[in-house]
Chains A and B, each alone.
Chain A
């Protein structure tokens, strides 16, 4: 499945978005000529696995192997699906963050959106199952408004997304705090919590399948389709070179606004799952925006936008959760945990990125004609505009 995504980092020219354009033919062996044909699966796999976006799967496999070794019970019936289920919220948040990062922005309001939606659901649904659908509709509406506001501030007011979404996060937290006095009234009805807490029993082989795993699977498929759709391609293009993308006639602003809306919707879905899994607490969701960014970057997605693999972002989220669990099983002292966790993430992030960067700088040097030959078409258009 992983190797079928063409926007993957498997292409050594590093640009996922030039599939539809005719890239200037490159002279030199190191840069493969774009032929429109896919290279063989095995070759793409070999190339993909050494990129940061592919290496995260190797890392995940090794960490999982370690986890299974330390916790043999994980192989028990329904145990592994439960594990995926508990990772679902952060994986979904990482999916949402992926779209924003792909478009060249950051969304720091995700944690605040989760907290607000959790409190909203807790207070409005209460013990009345009849309120579930209306409140869900309201939550989606809130998400769309947040996404729109984030997007408008970033695109039209031209406030850097780092600050803009930090600001909206504060506003959202403030409003949540104001309306509840800092404490939600309690857990909503169990019928609503079932989405994140229950699942389907007695499934052959798996044993138990949490609903959250189904939600995650559906969202991953949707996300992959979205990345491969014209919208996804243009979003990556906007993240790579917004000016060139604008010159093709696309509305970069609208692309980015939609990315922020996707991110807010993802936060909302995660909130619904978290209410079930964890229960209502104003603490739920805190720090998720940074965990999601870590997951996305761990998945080899360029923070500057335009490049990266959606499935690697999900794998990044799984790496973080496996790491969390691994530290539980390894018995790391509570006071040491943050340091150990941080160090491992830094190493995991840093080393492949250094290698990747070095690989990317080696390639042009080998090409006889120097840098100009390697510009993608969009890139050289932008170059002319500047000159």
Chain B
């Protein structure tokens, strides 16, 4: 029996130890209950600890995107996929063809709804350019989120030797840089879009303003609505992924500046985790707003408030229809950041322009206009009948097949 008693004691000690570990970890460096400004930093202190410690925060990039997101763009606002910021242009004369050109497209992945939406739009744009006799064929290889596969894909295109131009949507900037360089060395035009290529040899880089602007927009909306000392819950999809880290770094910075307390969670975008987390946060105390780094995270967060039977505070999201509809149905104070999905279309147009001898911007920055409460009804009307995975910035309203193709959502 003494052995058993000893074990019982051990078990108790162990469990107490575990509980102790939990409370100790709360005091660990980076413990975020004290949140944004830390103990000493007051409102408006822009150099507060949390954001400064985030290695993903890049002040220069933050400032650039902050300027660009409100800048005035060249071109017709009703065709945002053709708009650009004034800057260096690419002389197209070296790339002009007297026939329809074959384009080779190395795509990082089709593994999320944003990429799928863009891909559908790109294919409808392809039909137009084919009918116009600008592009003869789009040969596509999908790297399925793998750097290695993408490098192999690009090299395959190069060795095939019959591409008149390359479009590359890099999986990760650094890993694909050398392969992109090899594509540039062929002398054919190379158009990069979405993420950067980690090299500047490309003919043109098509992208909307950027991830930091995405984070600034929605965090800025929250900061404008809640007061100093408010408590915001931030739901982050994954650590170490540049897309999400940039959005978070910028948002964190905005919250710090506004003296807002932030508690952040890494959820893996798993709705059951999000729901449990938000439920716990509701029990813990007041939640003035929920900020998310991905549209998919917003709906479970909204539902958690509904299920708990409490008023739903501000929950920001993205321009995916699932969120926009939940926003409309619940009548919350919503805000949708946008990373323009129509850039998929622009990349193809850029290549067509080069074949036709039309100069294009070297750094083709597209507008990135968030959806606010004022536009919500109109956006929902345009996207009526579209599946939840559709993005409002799909940019295909004037393309053949609208709206049927996006409603059916069959991957080309």
Give the B-binding residues of A (Cβ under 8 A): 46-47, 49-50, 55, 58-59, 62-63, 66, 71, 73-74, 79, 82, 86, 89, 181-187, 197, 274, 277-279, 281, 283-284, 286, 321, 323-337, 340, 343-344, 347-348, 351-352, 355-356, 359, 362
> Is there an interface contact between A197 and B283, defined as CB atoms closer than 8 Å?
no
Q: Quick one: CB contact mask for B1-29 with A, threshold 8 Å, 1 for yes?
A: 10111111011101111110111011010
Q: How many whole Å from A201's CB to the nearest CB in chain B?
A: 10
Residue of chain B at shortest CB distance from A12: B4
A335 to B263, CA, bound (A): 12
A277 to B264, CA, bound (A): 22
A86 to B6, CA, bound (A): 35
> Is there an interface contact between B263 and A66, defined as CB atoms closer than 8 Å?
no
Q: How many whole Å from B366's CB to the nearest CB in chain A?
A: 24
**B307 contacts chain A at the CB level, 8 A cutoff:** yes
**B133 contacts chain A at the CB level, 8 A cutoff:** no
A216 to B162, CA, bound (A): 61
A50 to B333, CA, bound (A): 53
Apart from A71-B283, A186-B389, list 4 A-B contacts with CB within 8 A: A50-B8, A63-B18, A71-B280, A331-B32
Binds A, one of B89-97, B111-119, B201-209: B111-119
Residue of chain A at shortest CB distance from B14: A351
> Is there an interface contact between B4 and A185, defined as CB atoms closer than 8 Å?
no
> Is there an interface contact between A73 and B19, defined as CB atoms closer than 8 Å?
no
**Chain A interface mostly helix, strand, loop or mixed?**
helix
Binds A, one of B183-191, B266-274, B368-376: B266-274
| Set B11, B26, B272, B299: member contacting A352, Cβ < 8 A | B11
> A362 contacts which chain B residues (CB < 8 A)?
3
> Is there an interface contact between A333 and B14, defined as CB atoms closer than 8 Å?
no
> B22 contacts which chain A residues (CB < 8 A)?
66, 323, 326-327, 330, 332, 340, 344
> A74 contacts which chain B residues (CB < 8 A)?
283
* CB-contacts of B105-139 with A (<8 A): 110-113, 116
**B397 contacts chain A at the CB level, 8 A cutoff:** no
Q: How many whole Å from B299's CB to the nearest CB in chain A?
A: 6
Residue of chain B at shortest CB distance from A281: B271
**B388 contacts chain A at the CB level, 8 A cutoff:** yes
Residue of chain A at shortest CB distance from B117: A183
Q: Quick one: CB contact mask for B214-255 with A, threshold 8 Å, 1 for yes?
A: 000000000000000000000010010000000000000000
> Is there an interface contact between A274 and B26, defined as CB atoms closer than 8 Å?
no
**B31 contacts chain A at the CB level, 8 A cutoff:** yes
> Is there an interface contact between B15 and A63, defined as CB atoms closer than 8 Å?
yes
> A181 contacts which chain B residues (CB < 8 A)?
110, 116, 411
* CB-contacts of B295-315 with A (<8 A): 296, 299-300, 303, 307
> Is there an interface contact between A344 and B30, defined as CB atoms closer than 8 Å?
no
Which of B12, B15, B269, B411 has its CB near the most chain A CB atoms (within 10 A)? B15
Q: How many whole Å from B362's CB to the nearest CB in chain A?
A: 33
A352 to B8, CA, bound (A): 9
| Set B18, B116, B280, B322: member contacting A325, Cβ < 8 A | B280
Q: How many whole Å from A75's CB to the nearest CB in chain B?
A: 11
Q: A62-B16, A340-B22 are in contact. Are A329 and B30 (CB under 8 A)?
A: no
> B73 contacts which chain A residues (CB < 8 A)?
none
Q: How many whole Å from B327's CB to the nearest CB in chain A?
A: 15
Q: A186-B389, A278-B272, A279-B271 are in contact. Are A73 and B283 (CB under 8 A)?
A: yes
> Is there an interface contact between A283 and B15, defined as CB atoms closer than 8 Å?
no
> B276 contacts which chain A residues (CB < 8 A)?
86, 321, 324-325, 328
> A356 contacts which chain B residues (CB < 8 A)?
7
> A355 contacts which chain B residues (CB < 8 A)?
6-7, 10
Closest 6 CB pairs of A and B: A331-B33, A186-B388, A278-B271, A278-B272, A328-B280, A62-B15
Enumerate 25 A-B pairs (CB-CB under 8 Å) in ascending A order: A47-B4, A55-B7, A62-B16, A62-B18, A71-B283, A82-B307, A86-B275, A89-B272, A182-B111, A183-B116, A184-B389, A185-B409, A186-B387, A278-B275, A332-B28, A332-B31, A333-B30, A333-B32, A334-B264, A335-B30, A335-B266, A336-B25, A347-B17, A355-B7, A355-B10
**B284 contacts chain A at the CB level, 8 A cutoff:** yes
> B272 contacts which chain A residues (CB < 8 A)?
86, 89, 274, 277-278, 284
> B17 contacts which chain A residues (CB < 8 A)?
347
> Is there an interface contact between B30 and A340, defined as CB atoms closer than 8 Å?
no
A185 to B409, CA, bound (A): 9
Count contacts between A and B, CB distance < 8 Å: 173
> Is there an interface contact between B33 and A344, defined as CB atoms closer than 8 Å?
no
Q: A279-B271, A286-B268, A331-B32 are in contact. Are A50 and B11 (CB under 8 A)?
A: yes
> Is there an interface contact between B14 and A332, defined as CB atoms closer than 8 Å?
no
A42 to B283, CA, bound (A): 38
> Is there an interface contact between B388 and A187, defined as CB atoms closer than 8 Å?
yes
> A335 contacts which chain B residues (CB < 8 A)?
30, 239, 266
> B31 contacts which chain A residues (CB < 8 A)?
331-333, 336
> A281 contacts which chain B residues (CB < 8 A)?
269-271, 296
> B303 contacts which chain A residues (CB < 8 A)?
197, 279
Residue of chain B at shortest CB distance from A352: B11
A335 to B270, CA, bound (A): 17
> Is there an interface contact between B18 and A79, defined as CB atoms closer than 8 Å?
no
**B281 contacts chain A at the CB level, 8 A cutoff:** yes
> A327 contacts which chain B residues (CB < 8 A)?
22, 25
Q: How many whole Å from A50's CB to the nearest CB in chain B?
A: 4
A98 to B303, CA, bound (A): 32
A274 to B303, CA, bound (A): 13
| Set A62, A283, A328: member contacting B268, Cβ < 8 A | A283
> B387 contacts which chain A residues (CB < 8 A)?
185-186
> Is there an interface contact between B21 and A344, defined as CB atoms closer than 8 Å?
yes
A197 to B275, CA, bound (A): 11
A58 to B32, CA, bound (A): 30
Q: A283-B269, A331-B26 are in contact. Are A59 and B110 (CB under 8 A)?
A: no
> Is there an interface contact between A347 and B25, defined as CB atoms closer than 8 Å?
no
**B56 contacts chain A at the CB level, 8 A cutoff:** no
Q: A181-B116, A334-B236 are in contact. Are A348 and B280 (CB under 8 A)?
A: no
A79 to B309, CA, bound (A): 11
> Is there an interface contact between A50 and B110, defined as CB atoms closer than 8 Å?
no
> Is there an interface contact between B15 and A331, defined as CB atoms closer than 8 Å?
no
> B279 contacts which chain A residues (CB < 8 A)?
82, 86
> Is there an interface contact between B271 and A182, defined as CB atoms closer than 8 Å?
no
> A326 contacts which chain B residues (CB < 8 A)?
19, 22
> B280 contacts which chain A residues (CB < 8 A)?
71, 325, 328-329
A184 to B271, CA, bound (A): 14
A58 to B26, CA, bound (A): 24
> A334 contacts which chain B residues (CB < 8 A)?
32, 236, 239, 264-266
> B269 contacts which chain A residues (CB < 8 A)?
281, 283
A351 to B277, CA, bound (A): 29
Q: A59-B18, A278-B271 are in contact. Are A329 and B284 (CB under 8 A)?
A: yes
Residue of chain A at shortest CB distance from B277: A328
| Set A73, A86, A278, A337: member contacting B270, Cβ < 8 A | A278
> B268 contacts which chain A residues (CB < 8 A)?
283, 286
Residue of chain A at shortest CB distance from B308: A82
